Amino acid sequence: MELISVRELFKNTDAYAGKEVIVGGWVRNRRPSKQFGFIVLNDGTYFNPVQVVYNDTIENFQEISNLQDQHRRCPDRHRHSGADSRFQAALRDPG
């Protein structure tokens, strides 16, 4: 499966709705809770970030819940720290 850019997701939302996709980028923010969480992901290809919603039914729930926000860890916010956090998410149509 190939990496999909944030721009591509926003341009062709209908084509990806309900499908598993691979996205990569910087974790801009995360909001974990006991049973689910949110990750705001940006790859620099589009103005808007992607919000990933995950829940405790995934295998690496605890690992994802403990991800660090990349822009807070990196002293120079304009340069990516090189950290790589991988997870899978299904794009769902919010409508």
Provide the token pair at 2: 């190939």
* Signed CA dihedral, 50, 14, 94, 54: sign only: negative
pLDDT over 70 at 4, yes or no: yes
Ordered by start, the domain boundaries in the chain are 6-90
Q: Is the CATH number 2.40.50.140 carried by domain 6-90?
A: yes
Characterize the bridge pairing of strands 50-55 and 36-42: antiparallel
- pLDDT, the chain, mean: 75
pLDDT over 70 at 48, yes or no: yes
Residue predicted with more confidence, 75 or 59: 59
pLDDT over 60 at 57, yes or no: yes
pLDDT over 50 at 59, yes or no: yes
Question: pLDDT tens across 16-47, in order?
Answer: 888 888 888 888 888 888 899 988 989 999 99
Whether 47 and 72 have beta carbons less than 8 Å apart is answered as no
